[in-house]
């Protein structure tokens, strides 16, 4: 009865269209470099960093999250309307005992946004000019 079983390792994977939810400690570092997600909201996984002790962070160790995946929610907070700077603040919030990070593939994230948009009003038609804001130095 191997059919339907996923590869050993990650129980869930964004490759499969799953939302991958990973419990992390309340205080980082989490070993992830994030960049702005679609529309300047949420956050995308840009790279992995080893922690100070040389280990990988909890998300990378889980194995179900890929570079480019979208951090779509933290705990119960959906991030699709949360500006990236605020997302970083939520990630650094040390009041939480632990956090749950919810990741989706970019495709799945867009599907969900579209579904949400259709439920309410027609999605805003913005044309994609990529303007690099030069003032976002951290």
Residue 125 lies in a domain: no
Other beta carbons within 10 Å of 37: 23
How far does CA 135 lie from the centroid of its chain?
Answer: 24
* First vs last C-alpha separation in the chain: 52
For all residues of the chain together, what is the average pLDDT? 84
How many folded domains does the chain comprise? 1
Residue 23 lies in a domain: yes
| 68 CB-near residues (< 8 Å, 6+ apart) | 44, 45, 105, 106
Confidence band, pLDDT 50/70/90 cuts, at residue 25:
very high
Residue 39 lies in a domain: yes
33-52, pLDDT tens digit by residue?
999 999 999 999 999 999 99
Domain of residue 42, CATH code: 2.30.42.10
Residue 5 lies in a domain: no
Determine the structural domain holding residue 54 and report its residue range: 14-119
Residue 7 lies in a domain: no
Residue 114 lies in a domain: yes
74-99, pLDDT tens digit by residue?
999 999 999 999 999 999 888 878 89
Residue 3 lies in a domain: no
Residue 138 lies in a domain: no
Per-residue tokens: 46: 């840009």
């Amino acid at each position: 009865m191997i059919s339907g079983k996923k590869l050993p390792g990650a129980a869930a994977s964004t490759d499969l269209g799953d939302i991958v939810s990973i419990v992390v400690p309340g205080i980082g570092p989490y070993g992830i470099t994030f960049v702005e997600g679609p529309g300047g909201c949420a956050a995308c996984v840009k790279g992995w960093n080893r922690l100070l002790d040389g280990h990988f962070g909890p998300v990378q160790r889980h194995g179900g999250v890929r570079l480019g995946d979208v951090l779509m929610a933290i705990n119960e907070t959906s991030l699709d309307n949360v500006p990236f700077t605020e997302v970083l603040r939520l990630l650094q919030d040390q009041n939480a005992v632990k956090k749950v990070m919810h990741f989706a593939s970019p495709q799945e994230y867009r599907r969900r946004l579209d579904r949400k948009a259709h439920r309410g009003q027609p999605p805003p038609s913005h044309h994609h000019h990529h303007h690099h804001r030069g003032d976002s130095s951290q």
